Amino acid sequence: MDAIRRAFLIIPREYRKEFFHELYKENLLRIILCSCLIIVIEFIIFVLNGDILRTKFVILAILAFNLLLLPFFIVMRKKINKIPDPLSRSILTVYLIGALLLGCAMSLMSQSYFATMNVYIITLFMISAFIYRPPLENLFIFFSTYLVFFLLIPMYQIYPEAVLILRTNAFIMNLLAWLLARMVYHNKLKSFQNLKLIEESNQMLREMAVRDSLTSLFNHASIYNMLRDEIEKSRVSKRKLCIIMLDVDDFKAVNDQYGHLIGDKVLKIMSGILMETCRTTDYVGRYGGEEFLIVLPNTGMKEACCLAERIRSNIEEADFENEIRITVSLGIDESVEGTSAEDMIRGADHKLYLAKCCGKNRVITDQLRMNL
């Protein structure tokens, strides 16, 4: 199975939709350019090729084929994001098969004068070099049109030796064209995959820049900047905003008794509890050491108190390393007109200090004290 995937360059499922969308978007542009070029060239050939009457009908068919489809492709290119990829894929396949059949017809019609298939070969290699298609699809397109050429050539070429040579050469050219198309597609695929790896690496670097390395929560600078942004948003929208400052009770004793490695595991587990308890709209950050800051957009004091109590309760009931029991103290502050990030942090930190002084393992706000 892996050998088949490598031979036909089957793209990983997670990238497939995005890759093919970009592929068809670029293919449409290339087909538009190629179609314009074909119209110009075929018109010149039609004007200059007056003595070969049989080929004129094919030239007219090629001109009509491209003139009819060119406006359609231009509209498709402009509305590519609204057109389903399978539909774009099918339309491009039909166009390429039609182009190859017309190239094949041009070569067949010329057999009375030349034992050649130049137009067919040119069409093959133009598609191979300029249009990105999965190898399996190209295999079907190339060799289905080759089968047409194989079956029809005896009707237009009277010499059996020439028929054999043309069939053999057409097969070789189709094989070479398919290999070229595979190479072009492979380069496009590798370029896309490398770009995705770079994007993922950049995303990881951005995450590392804003995340705490131990807990994977937002780091000090990030959570502080988020608080400033949310204060500005709440000022404009007139919505409420609260923060929770949280500190682990007697954490130094945990480090002293069990070691810093166990202490780190405790912080990781506690960070997981915070993420599970808080809402998706909340921002949770490690403010420093065993102190955490939670920013609660569009949240009033009553809702903040309920969330803080759930956090306190969940941490108290959680199982930590070596059956350690952990409690936390929490202070809440609410944004008012003209408040700053420093003011809110100072207020929440003061209430956290009061919670410590009042016996720890509790939530304290301006309006009420939630004691055990």
Q: Specify the 3-state DSSP secondary structure of 59.
A: helix
DSSP at 279:
-
Q: Closest Cα to residue 365, out of 248, 249, 231, 242? A: 242
What would the DSSP string read from start to end of 144-204?
Answer: HHHHHHHHHHHHH---HHHHHHHHHHHHHHHHHHHHHHHHHHHHHHHHHHHHHHHHHHHHH
Query: Packing angle between helix 341-357 and helix 220-237, nearest 10 degrees?
Result: 110
Q: Given 14, 290, 316, 342, which residue is catalytic?
A: 290
Residue 290: active-site member: yes
Q: CA 306 from chain center: how many Å? A: 38
Alpha carbon separation from 300 to 144, 210, 281, 303, 306 (Å, rounded): 69, 27, 14, 6, 10
Distance CA(215)–CA(291), nearest Å, equals: 12
Residues annotated catalytic, as ranges: 290
